[in-house]
């Protein structure tokens, strides 16, 4: 038997299930796969042998289409990262035994930086231990858009579309009153400002969008921020501000670390929340006008009802590409998008060594931030614009989109 296993990992996105759909379609079409399994809860589910018969669960075009419009990892997720095989090879041996038992030859792991590290370690372990009949391939996903070696990441386009539409709506909401007011909106992104940059897409139809946009790449200067806000308040009543959650001072301290530093997540990132809230208090104290803060929170990664058709299509194609790599015995690769033309927008699907991707982060180039530090350049806009295009035909029932449940 030649079976295939697919699993999802890391933070959910609105497009991560489209990649599963792509894997399944490619495996079915190939005629080379006997069973298509899905592991529930990522690599943890692999270790626990929590397998679903995905081929059966997704045996109709309608189910595939529902999967495409279902947000968050339909196979569940995990934050578990495999250790160093040189120090502890137990997990790797355990996984290979499970693969043997279920006759799994192809394993597609969909995820971000940390998940690509898992793909890399497993591939290397196979190679170094003479396992030549198991092929582990990565498929990228992350709303943060911070993976290297791919033009952009599946999931980012839909999050960007949510941000574009939401900032356009917020801008209309905020300017109905004549009173001077500041609205500070916090966007996800600890170390890369791509999502915050996407707030500028709210201007694509002529709307004003945010008056000020602060990405997390440059140093954030609170005094300069107050000056910028004050200047804008002189020009207009309603000042809408977009900030990355990860804005920080010259010593790398998050703006929000003044108030919160008590928690650390499992990968050692310090826990941050409330940069917008901290700035709200600052504006209230120092400027004294009406001010509110908004955190877009999980909605920006799970708003599948506002998914980008471009993103869903690309995510699906990347799932197909990853499956193709595995079937062609190219373990240790990650499916990737290469932009071959900007206007008209054209991409091709390729693959790159996952070792080049794992544990790296693609930040926004400083040259894509305007000189005044509080907006993005036309180069950034040209990069972003195609990613949010198109609205998928969504199936609604009883007033809300239909989701599929796999387990």
Q: Which are the catalytic amino acids?
A: 144
Q: Which residues sit at the interface with its own copies, rule CB under 8 A? A: 8, 12, 41, 44, 70-73, 76-79, 161, 164-166, 168-170, 172-178, 183, 201-202, 204-207, 292, 294-299, 301-306, 308, 385, 388-391, 394, 396-403, 405
144 a known binding residue? yes
189 a known binding residue? yes
Question: What distance in Å separates the CA atoms of residue 138 and residue 325, rounded to the nearest whole number?
Answer: 9
**Cβ-based nearer residue to its own copies, 302 or 335:** 302
Complete DSSP assignment for 87-114: T--HHHHHHHHHHHHTTEEEEEEEESHH
The token duo for 163 is 């941000």
**Cβ-based nearer residue to its own copies, 353 or 390:** 390
11 a known binding residue? yes
**Cβ-based nearer residue to its own copies, 203 or 363:** 203
Least distance in Å: CB of 179 to its own copies?
8
Q: Of 128, 40, 26, 362, give the one whose Cα is nearest residue 120.
A: 128
Least distance in Å: CB of 267 to its own copies?
14
Least distance in Å: CB of 324 to its own copies?
27
188 a known binding residue? yes
Number of H helices, E strands in the chain: 13, 13
Residue 32: how many CA atoms within 13 Å on its side-chain side? 15
In this structure, are residues 246 and 256 in contact, taking their beta carbons and an 8 Å threshold? Answer: no
Strand partners, 137: 108
113 a known binding residue? yes
Question: What are the residues whose beta carbons fall under 8 Å from the beta carbon of 275, sequence distance 6 or more?
Answer: 186, 243, 244, 245, 246, 247, 254, 255, 256
DSSP 373: S
Question: What distance in Å separates the CA atoms of residue 200 and residue 364, rounded to the nearest whole number?
Answer: 14
How many angstroms from the chain centroid is the CA of residue 295?
A: 17
**Cβ-based nearer residue to its own copies, 201 or 233:** 201
**Cβ-based nearer residue to its own copies, 222 or 260:** 260
Least distance in Å: CB of 115 to its own copies?
13
Least distance in Å: CB of 139 to its own copies?
17
Least distance in Å: CB of 221 to its own copies?
27
Strand partners, 239: 182
Question: What distance in Å separates the CA atoms of residue 392 and residue 294, rounded to the nearest whole number?
Answer: 28
* Residue 396 CA: distances (Å) to CA of 51, 67, 307, 367, 401: 29, 13, 14, 42, 4
**Cβ-based nearer residue to its own copies, 118 or 202:** 202
The token duo for 229 is 């806000």
Find where tokens 């806000």 sit.
229
Question: What are the residues whose beta carbons fall under 8 Å from the beta carbon of 371, sequence distance 6 or more?
Answer: none
Output the known binding site for diphosphate.
Answer: 11
Output the known binding site.
Answer: 11, 113, 142-144, 188-190, 245
Output the known binding site for substrate.
Answer: 142-144, 188-190, 245
């Amino acid at each position: 038997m030649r079976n295939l296993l697919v699993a999802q990992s890391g933070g959910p996105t609105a497009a991560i299930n489209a990649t599963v759909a792509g894997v399944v379609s490619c495996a079915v079409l190939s005629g080379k796969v006997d069973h298509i399994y899905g592991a529930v809860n990522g690599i943890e589910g692999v270790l626990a042998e929590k397998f679903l018969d995905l081929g059966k669960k997704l045996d109709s075009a309608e189910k595939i289409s529902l999967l495409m419009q279902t947000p968050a990892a339909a196979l569940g997720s995990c934050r578990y990262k495999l250790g160093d095989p040189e120090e502890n090879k137990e997990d790797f041996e355990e996984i290979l035994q499970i693969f043997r038992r279920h006759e799994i030859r192809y394993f597609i792991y969909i995820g971000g930086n940390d998940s690509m590290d898992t793909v890399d370690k497993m591939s290397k372990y196979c190679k170094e231990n003479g396992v030549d009949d198991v092929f582990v391939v990565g498929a990228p996903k992350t709303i943060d858009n911070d993976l290297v070696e791919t033009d952009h990441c599946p999931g980012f386009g839909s999050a960007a579309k949510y941000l574009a539409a939401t900032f356009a709506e917020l801008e209309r909401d905020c300017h109905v009153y004549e009173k001077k007011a500041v609205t500070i909106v916090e966007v996800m992104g600890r170390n890369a400002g791509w999502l915050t940059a996407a707030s500028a897409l709210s201007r694509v139809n002529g709307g004003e969008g945010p008056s000020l946009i602060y990405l997390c790449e440059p140093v954030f200067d609170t005094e300069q921020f107050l000056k910028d806000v004050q200047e804008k308040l002189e020009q207009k009543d309603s000042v809408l501000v977009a900030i990355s959650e990860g804005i920080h001072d010259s010593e790398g301290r998050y703006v929000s670390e003044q108030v919160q530093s008590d928690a650390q997540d499992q990968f050692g990132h310090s826990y941050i929340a409330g940069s917008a809230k901290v700035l709200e208090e600052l504006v209230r104290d120092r400027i004294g006008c009406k001010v509110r803060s908004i955190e877009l929170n999980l909605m920006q990664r799970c708003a599948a009802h506002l998914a980008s058709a471009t993103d869903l299509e690309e995510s699906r194609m990347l799932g197909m590409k990853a499956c193709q790599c595995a079937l062609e015995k190219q373990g240790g690769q990650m499916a990737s998008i290469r932009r071959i033309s900007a206007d008209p927008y054209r991409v091709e699907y390729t693959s790159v060594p996952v070792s080049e991707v794992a544990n790296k982060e693609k930040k926004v180039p400083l040259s894509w931030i305007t000189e005044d530090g509080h907006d993005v350049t036309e180069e950034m806009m040209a990069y972003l614009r195609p990613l949010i295009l198109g609205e998928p035909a969504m199936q609604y029932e009883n007033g809300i989109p239909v989701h599929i449940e796999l387990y």
